Each structure stands twice: as structure tokens, then as C-alpha cells.
Structure 1
Amino acid sequence: MNRKTLVLPAVVGLLAPALAACGGTDSGGGSGDAIVVGTTDRFTATKDAPAPLDPAYSYDVGTWNILRQTVQTLMIQPKGEGEPVPEAAESCGFTDTGNERYSCKLRSGLKFANGDAVTAKDVKFSIERARSIKADSGVFALLSTIDTVETQGDNEVIFHLKTADATFPFKLSTPVAGIVNPDDYEKNKLRDGFDVDGSGPYILKAETDGDEMTKAVFTKNPHYKGTLTVNNDEVDMVSFKDADAMGTALQKGDIDLMTRTMSPQQIRKLSESSTSGDIDLVELNGLEIRYLAFDTTDSTVKSKAVRQAIAQVVNRGQLVSEVYGSQAEPLYSLVPATVTGHSNSFFNTYGDPDVGKAKSLLAEADIATPVKLTLNYTTDHYGPATKQEFETLQKQLNGSGLFDVSIKGTPWDAFVPAERKGEYAVYGMGWFPDFPDADNFVAPFLDKDNFLKSPYSNSDIITNLIPASRREADRMTAAKTLTEVQNIVAKDVPILPLWQGKQYVAANNDVTGTAYVLNSSATLQLWELGRGSSN
């Protein structure tokens, strides 16, 4: 096996308010047969979530990776990281000194995949549709700083914001801001099933088995106009039941590349194998985090002392070492260590794991021990190591003598609705950022209309600190305010960060473009893949 460790330059949390312009490029030519990509992401249309691929509903890394190939956005995150750049737009930027008026001019000749022209009215329709539907996924909250959307002619869209938001260009690069055709999407109703129509680099054809999409066939969109060069004619994404089945398919040559989620054992094996062979392991920058979330109204964890005691007992170093090894690092804040604005707030508050301190916290709050809890996790969304991770957490908490913890695993399609209905007191989740800025590791969890539907609410965070941080175009300047937010989270523990992880792909060595197939936000960039000699 060949191993490529790629530490690509990352400029995170830097935004420029100045008007930006970027010329369009034609898509590149295709090269050979379809490139087949394996994933363990599962795509189901259920009673609770019948519209998994509607941009106004979708809010997880798997479905977003379908939409990013097919639905075009005004802005896009460049493959080399850094500030977002225009995509469907020819230019975008703030046009006032207060950063509350953001204007975009559309690229000329934009068309949907069916040949219909893309106009400013379509952009306005798409944005307002997502905001008005207010799907229970919470994705609409990414557009919460918008006050009104105005069009001028067919090619200019003006966003009037409620307050200054330096992260707004990044938000326009996310699928919830994807441009859809009003002929295909109703204004006030989600689009059920697996059909997606947009103006992005690919056209999607979904192959299904009952309510599940088993293969996503992406063929090059002949009408696409944007900044991306498409290096293939077709990419097929195949869903596997688990990482072992996906790995076997790669070894047999049934697929060309496998991505999330590989098991730690697979990654170690590929990493330690001979440097010769037909498969390359590629290590990439990543901003994935894992955490425990608490329903702060549930009787078992309503007392802050219980949550603080858990934070005092959990041993992140041991957890990472036993389960993930070098593939992850302990995390002491919601904001990853590599992102501007990070602070080790949990370590600063609790220090090293200490059962004695945890016992004192519970005693001072007059909490009887052992505290009985159930830790809930999903069995099939974050990879096969999740069960082992929760077994390790269970051992740590029960080993303290202060807790009586059981664990329960649930498939993702049932786990998400249960979490949103408030059925779990404590549950494990992962977060792949919508964009690489500290705001996106704070606001989705703590702001009004947060995606967790968390009952925890801190008025200082919502009313003062988040808005203050967004006013700072220089994200280094925002770090002080963001640190205050992280310190409050460490004190109140509505969420307990555990670790941040790296990203890996494994591919046949005749596949090119693997260095850029994932960006730091775990965004699949299938257009980068081609065939040829791998370097």
C-alpha cells in the first residue's frame, strides 16, 4: 500500500468584506469509465424524513455531499481552503461600511441542468423557500441573519442583513443556499424522495431499493457554468452496509475509492502496509469533532453538577488512545484546535480527569450516587468504532463509582427523529462543519433555532456574544468574544466535546485528484477525480 500524508494549506476563519470577483472556467473533459466511490453513508426516505435531499431540509454530511455535486451556490469554498469565492455568482461582496448589505451578480449564461436559465429571481426563491419552510433539521438557521432578499434585474441579488455577519459569504456556500428551479420545487413544501435538480457540475440519477438510495450516479452536466473543472464524465457513489464490505470491494476492484467511514483498523492496516501496491491511503486535513449532548431539561442531567461531574471524569486521552490512536486528538472545546478562535476551555476548567473533584461536585449539589444514565449513540453513521467509543465512556464513568451508565445504539434513520423529539437525556453526535470558521462550531449548537433542538439557552451568548463575533471581519479580533462563549459552555456543559479527527481516503493508484477530493469541512469534491498516473 502507498501512503500519502497530505497536510494542505488551511486558512480558516479569515474573511474579507471587500467586493470579490472571479472569472468562470469551462468544465474539463471526461476521462474513461465511471469512477466508483464507496461510502458507508446510508440515504433513506422515511416517514419522519421523507425529503432527505431537499436543500431546505438536508443537514448532515452525507446528504450535503450529494447536494454539493448537483446544486450550485453563489459562493464556494476553494479547494485550497481559505475564503469562499464566487461560483454561480460572478462577483459578491459587502457594499456598505456596516457589513449589512451583501450583493451578488450572477455569472452570465447560467442554466439549470434541464436548460432553463438561472435568474436572480430563482436565487431569491430558493433562499426564501428554505427560510420559510423552517424544516425541523434546523438548517434554515444558517440563513438567520438575512432580513430581506432583493433582486435587481435578472442577474443581481442583494441580501439585506439584520446585523453585521462576517461569516455570511461562507453561509452562501452551503447547500441550504443552493439554487433550485421553482418548476421543480414547491414554495412551501419539501420535495420528497431522491430527485435533485440544480445547476451544479453533475446531474444525479438515484438507484433505489425501496426507501433507500443504494447508488448515486453523477453524470457531467453539459449546461454547467462555474469555477470548477470537472475531470470526469461520471462518478458513481455506492452505499455499503459497513466498512468491511466497502474495504473488500476496494480490494477486489469493484470500487475505485473509499471514504467515510473507514474503520480505525482499516486505516492502521493500510498505513502500516508495504509502500508498494495498488492502493493509496491519503491523509487529509479535517475538522470533524465528536461530542456528548445533554437534554438539560431531563431530570437525570438537569442539574449542572451532574454534567460537570461527567466532564470531570471523562478521560479523552484514554478514549482516543484506545479507540482511534493517531487518527484523532483529544478536544477541550467545541472549536477545533486548528481553527482561529479556539480555546482549551474544558481543560482550563477541569484539568486532568479527577474522580475526587467529580465526587465533590455531586456532593455539594446534594446529588445521590451512583447517578443512573443511558448514553445513546447511532450504530451506522459515524463508523464502526462508535460502539467501542461508548463502551470506553461507559467504563470510565462506571469505574468512578459515581455513575451507573448503560449504553444504547440506534440506527441513524431512527436516532435522528428520536433526538429531535427530545427522547434522549445524553447522546453522542459528530459535527462536520458547514464552513471552516469558529462561528460554525458555536452558533449551530447554542444560537436560537439550534439544530440540536437543545433546550439550553444562554441569553448572553445569543443576544451579545455571537452577534459581536460576527461583526468582526478580522476573525482574529473575534477570538476574545468566541473564547467567552467557550468558557460559558465549559461551565454549564450543555455539550461535552470529546475529540477531533483526521480524514482519510483510500484509492486505487490510477485515480488522480485524491489530494483534493475532500476539503477540511468533509465536503466531497468529486469533480477533482480523474484517471491516470498517481504521483
Structure 2
Amino acid sequence: MNRKTLVLAAAMGLLAPVLAACGDTEGGGGDGDAIVVGTTDRFTASEEEGLAPLDPAYAYDVGTWNILRQTVQTLMVQPRGDGEPVPDAAESCTFTDAGNERYSCTLRDGLKFASGDPVTAADVKFSIDRARSIKADSGVFALLSTVDTVETQGDREVIFHLKVADATFPYKLSTPVAGIVNPDNYDKGKLREGFEVDGSGPYTLKSEVEDGALVRATYTRNASYKGALKVNNEQVEMVSFESADAMGDALEKADIDVMTRSMSPEQIRKLGNAADGPIDLVESPGLEIRYLAFNTDATTVKDKAVRQAMAQLINRSELIGNVYGSQAEPLFSLVPAGVTGHSNAFFNKYGDPDTAKARELLEEAGVETPVKLTLHYTTDHYGPATKVEFEQLSKQLNDSGLFQTDIKGAPWATFRPAGQKGQYDVYGMGWFPDFPDADAFIAPFLAEDNFLNSPYTNTEIQEDLIPESRRQADRLSASDSLTEIQDIVAAEVPVLPLWQGKQYVAARDDITGTAYAVNSSATLQLWELGRGVSG
């Protein structure tokens, strides 16, 4: 193993990091200059994309959630190394009935917002009810869809009455949509526009904005924070770069200390092969997935035989080998490997790529060939290799003689709303799970009010199988219903999974805590970073 590469391995089905090389220690100095972190995530407030990117009732992508996780506290939080969520703003939380339909939390004593105002049970109720009632078009409110009513008893107890059993509810209370906000700063019926955030999390935020875009976020340790997280630094600055190359140059020059998403495959290979030098690369298992989404009402792909033929043709191993190398693995289900309930449903259904079988599917359905399609992708959200990936996908489909495809890219600010509005027949998306459970890879795509705003509906999945899986507190016991859902998706192909990615962080070698800086759900945990001894 390369001395300068820290590899974090998965164990016992959980994506838990373990220390395997030098360049990282627990803790951190907690003092010194601000740690500067680079990202290629772009944060904009526009009429097209939404004017309230950092409102917990609206935000629903990994970049904005990573800002909120530093600043807006939740009742529960994902622990270091993943696993089941633990209390954060809460002192304790538990189901109080045998059917997983009543969930009670007691707040920590003396909890305060960064402003100094006390955090009460009424503030928790306000925050949850606000997100549910606003119903932002991002679809994030669907995470709270099982909530019926929220009750308070005194200043510290909150009771959630659920419509149906939901064993995943503690996970949902660890997501930013359940972030606790101050009613003095957030209107009950209106989103908060711009880049201001107020909460009781580990940091306060100061935003530097240029031309409607957040270019630098300064996180300062919140002295009022009381929770489960140990904060190992006083200040972190996050800088948004226009390209991975620009971010990499800044790390080389020591203008930044840490480089996060999204690095290019070339940068990762170069850093991984470097035997010595001042920069360490951290590799860990991840739950990021990439997939093709379909507007199943569109004329070109309405016939499921077209979607099935694409599933029969695409060679995932060849795609990954030509673009990402060892940085990704083929994915044959919406639920990735490493998550309880995963099955290889698409491989079980289609096996190896086969042009003859794809032709047979189209002929039996009476579909004329070649099928003409445009494959849409985003130019600035999933990393610099996305265009090359779509060139490879287009080539594979065209080489079969059954399809005639081209590709078209658009910036995320345009791409995301267009996909939600059904303007693309086929388009490429990525997904970072809301929490590390199979439900977080199924419900956002297949439940009512789904993230994609997809016209595809399967009554059995929505009314029977998803509720059935949520009744099982032991997630292994939910495997039968989860497997059936994955089999239906493979047969009807409303989405087509492509690959599952690993995660990478690159840092100057005097930075500590990098082994836990990003968890398996791509949550950025800035509180883990500190400064230590170079070497």
C-alpha cells in the first residue's frame, strides 16, 4: 500500500472507517489558523434554481446539506463511523410503542441557539411543521411524510405521532430538513432567501457572496453548542472553485489545506501514486450512486422495452474502466453494496450485456430502430469526468445499432429544474443518501412526492412494500420486501443504476482528522479536522 494513501475499509456490512496508514490522528489542536477546505460545489440563489438554497425546508443536495450539517442542529446525528444515529440536540430519543408509531425525544438541558436564545420543544415543533407545510418543490419535505402530528410537553419533550410505522424515523431526524431553526429568523409559511443560516449547531456561518453565488463560507466554532460532536478546530473556511484543476492547484500551493468533492479521476490517480510529498490522499468506501433517470411519459422512452434494451446493452465494467478505473464499481440496483437489503437485481434480470437480447426486446414490443435519444448530463455538479462518462454511454448504445444517441450538457442551475419539469427524456443523476439505509435509496425515487418528480408510479411499491419495509426495526428482516422492490425496478426500469463510487479527501499532511472528514453518505464533518505535526 502506498505510504501516502490512507485506505479506509468496510467491515461487517457497515461502511466504518479504520486507520490504516500515517498522516491522520484523532483529535486535533483546536487552535491556530483557520483550516481552508476546497470544493467544486457551486451555491447559487436564483429565480431558476431557487432563492433559498440554505433553508432547511428547501435544501436537498449534498452541497447545501453539508453547509447545514455544520450550522443547524438536529435531534439526532450520524455517529463517527456511521451506524445508527445518536442524540445530538436531544438528550435521549426512543420509540415508546411496540409498533414504531410514537417517537419521543427529550432535549438537552440548557440548549441554546448561537444567538443565545434558548432552544425549546416548541422550536422543534415549529421547525418540523414548517418544513411539512411549506412543501418546497425540492421535495425534501417527503422525508417527513410519515409524521402525523408533533406534540410538545413542557420545554424539553417532543413527541412525534406517526401515520404509519417507520423504523427509519430516527435517521430522518438526523437530516437537515429536521434542523431546528429559530422562529425569530424563519417565517412559518415562507422560505428564507439568501445565504444566511442561524442554528444551534457546532458552527456559525459567515457567507461571502459574489454575483448571487456563495464563494467562501467561514465557519466559526459556536461556543453555545451542546451536543454529541467534538469540535477540533476554531474556524474552517470553505472555498468554492470553478474546476477540480483550480482546486488542485490551490492545494499544491498550500492556499487550501483540504480538497474534497469533486476531484477528477486523474487527480486521484496522481495523488494515489505519489510515494512522498506534503499531500495525503484518503480513500474510503462510499454510498454515492450514479444512474440514468427517465421521464416515463416521454414518447421516446414510454415503452418500457426501450428502457429494458438500454439496461441490456450498457456495459458498466467497460464504462467504469474507461472513465473511473478503480474509483468506482458496477451497480446493479438502486441500493448499493454495503447496505442491508442490497441485491443485484439488474444483473439477475439481464446478465451480461447482450445486443441480440436487446434487439429481441425491441422487436417484440414493435419498437422501430434505431431509437433516437438525447442523453442529458450536468456539466458542473458531479465532477469533471461526467462528460466523458456520457460520451462512453452514447458510444455503447450507438455501437449496438439499436440506438442513435447524442449527448447534451447543462449547468446544474438549469439542469436540475429541467429534469424535475420533465423536459429531459433521459438524463444522468447522482445520489448521496439521506442516511445509510436502503429506504434512503428507494423512497426518494419511488414514493409519492419523489425527489425526481417522476411520473412513474407503482402502487404495490408505494402502498405495500415500502410501508412493509419500514415496519421492520431489524433492517435485515426488511430484506424480502426490499428485494421485491428492487426486482420490480429492474423489470420496469424507471431508473437505470450505473455505478457506485468511492470517496476521497486530499489534505496537507499537517491536517488531522481526515479519516472522518467525510462519512459514507458524503456528509462533510468539518468538526473532525485539526492541525497536527507534519510528516
Pair in the same fold by TM > 0.5: yes
1:478-497 CA-to-partner distances (Å, cap 9, x unmatched) read 01110000000000000000
Q: Which residue of 1 aligns with 2:155?
A: 154
Q: Which residue of 1 aligns with 2:5?
A: 3
In the TM superposition, residue 534 of structure 1 has moved relative to its aligned partner by 5.9
- Paired with 2:124 and 2:534, the residues of 1 have a C-alpha distance of 39
In the TM superposition, residue 30 of structure 1 has moved relative to its aligned partner by 2.7
Q: Which residue of 1 aligns with 2:255?
A: 254
Judged with a 3 Å threshold, the aligned counterparts in structure 2 of structure 1 residues 36 and 354 are, in CA distance, closer, same or farther, namely same
Structure 2: which 5+ runs fail to align? 17-26
Over aligned residue pairs, what C-alpha RMSD do you find? 1.4
Q: In structure 2, give the amino acid aligned to 1:345.
A: A
In the TM superposition, residue 285 of structure 1 has moved relative to its aligned partner by 2.1
Q: Residues 78-117 of structure 1: matches in 2 within 5 Å?
A: 78-117=79-118
In the TM superposition, residue 533 of structure 1 has moved relative to its aligned partner by 2.4
1:373-429 CA-to-partner distances (Å, cap 9, x unmatched) read 010000000000000000000000000000110100000011111111110000000
Q: Which residue of 2 aligns with 1:285?
A: 285
8 Å Cα contact 1:29-1:230 kept in structure 2: no
8 Å Cα contact 2:101-2:165 kept in structure 1: yes
Q: In structure 2, give the amino acid aligned to 1:127.
A: I
1:285-326 CA-to-partner distances (Å, cap 9, x unmatched) read 210000000000000000010000010110001001110000
1:488 aligns with 2:484: no
Q: Which residue of 2 aligns with 1:236?
A: 237
Q: In structure 1, give the amino acid aligned to 2:220.
A: T
Q: In structure 1, give the amino acid aligned to 2:132.
A: R
- Paired with 1:112 and 1:125, the residues of 2 have a C-alpha distance of 14
Q: Residues 349-498 of structure 1: matches in 2 within 5 Å?
A: 349-498=349-498
Q: Which residue of 1 aligns with 2:340?
A: 340
8 Å Cα contact 2:40-2:242 kept in structure 1: yes
1:252-289 CA-to-partner distances (Å, cap 9, x unmatched) read 00000000000000000111112x21000000121000
1:219-265 CA-to-partner distances (Å, cap 9, x unmatched) read 01111111111111100000000100000000000000000000000
8 Å Cα contact 1:10-1:81 kept in structure 2: no
Residue 442 of structure 1 aligns to a residue whose secondary structure is helix
Runs of 4+ in structure 1 deviating by more than 2 angstroms, as ranges, are 8-14, 27-30
Q: Which residue of 1 aligns with 2:44?
A: 44
Q: Residues 153-232 of structure 1: matches in 2 within 5 Å?
A: 153-232=154-233
Residue 396 of structure 2 aligns to a residue whose secondary structure is helix
- Paired with 1:421 and 1:344, the residues of 2 have a C-alpha distance of 30
Q: TM-score, normalised by structure 1?
A: 0.96
Q: TM-score, normalised by structure 2?
A: 0.96
Q: Which residue of 2 aligns with 1:22?
A: none
8 Å Cα contact 1:512-1:534 kept in structure 2: no
Q: Which residue of 1 aligns with 2:319?
A: 319
In the TM superposition, residue 511 of structure 1 has moved relative to its aligned partner by 0.2
8 Å Cα contact 1:119-1:154 kept in structure 2: yes
1:521 aligns with 2:521: yes
- Paired with 1:449 and 1:520, the residues of 2 have a C-alpha distance of 25
In the TM superposition, residue 8 of structure 1 has moved relative to its aligned partner by 5.4
8 Å Cα contact 1:456-1:494 kept in structure 2: yes
1:52-85 CA-to-partner distances (Å, cap 9, x unmatched) read 0000000000000000000000000001211100
Q: In structure 1, give the amino acid aligned to 2:206.
A: K
Q: In structure 2, give the amino acid aligned to 1:339.
A: V
- Paired with 2:68 and 2:81, the residues of 1 have a C-alpha distance of 20
8 Å Cα contact 1:77-1:173 kept in structure 2: yes
Q: In structure 2, give the amino acid aligned to 1:422.
A: G
8 Å Cα contact 2:45-2:51 kept in structure 1: yes
1:168-203 CA-to-partner distances (Å, cap 9, x unmatched) read 000000000000000000001000000000000000
Q: In structure 2, give the amino acid aligned to 1:376.
A: H
- Paired with 1:115 and 1:11, the residues of 2 have a C-alpha distance of 42
- Paired with 1:285 and 1:490, the residues of 2 have a C-alpha distance of 25
Q: In structure 2, give the amino acid aligned to 1:220.
A: R
- Paired with 1:9 and 1:190, the residues of 2 have a C-alpha distance of 41
- Paired with 1:173 and 1:392, the residues of 2 have a C-alpha distance of 38
8 Å Cα contact 2:15-2:285 kept in structure 1: no
Residue 112 of structure 2 aligns to a residue whose secondary structure is coil
Q: In structure 2, give the amino acid aligned to 1:408.
A: K
Residue 229 of structure 1 aligns to a residue whose secondary structure is coil
Residue 418 of structure 1 aligns to a residue whose secondary structure is helix
Residue 475 of structure 2 aligns to a residue whose secondary structure is coil
Residue 308 of structure 2 aligns to a residue whose secondary structure is helix
In the TM superposition, residue 90 of structure 1 has moved relative to its aligned partner by 0.1
Q: In structure 1, give the amino acid aligned to 2:208.
A: E
Residue 353 of structure 2 aligns to a residue whose secondary structure is coil
Q: In structure 2, give the amino acid aligned to 1:480.
A: D
Give the aligned length: 522
8 Å Cα contact 2:456-2:494 kept in structure 1: yes
1:137-164 CA-to-partner distances (Å, cap 9, x unmatched) read 0000000010100000000000000111
In the TM superposition, residue 210 of structure 1 has moved relative to its aligned partner by 1.5
Residue 82 of structure 1 aligns to a residue whose secondary structure is coil
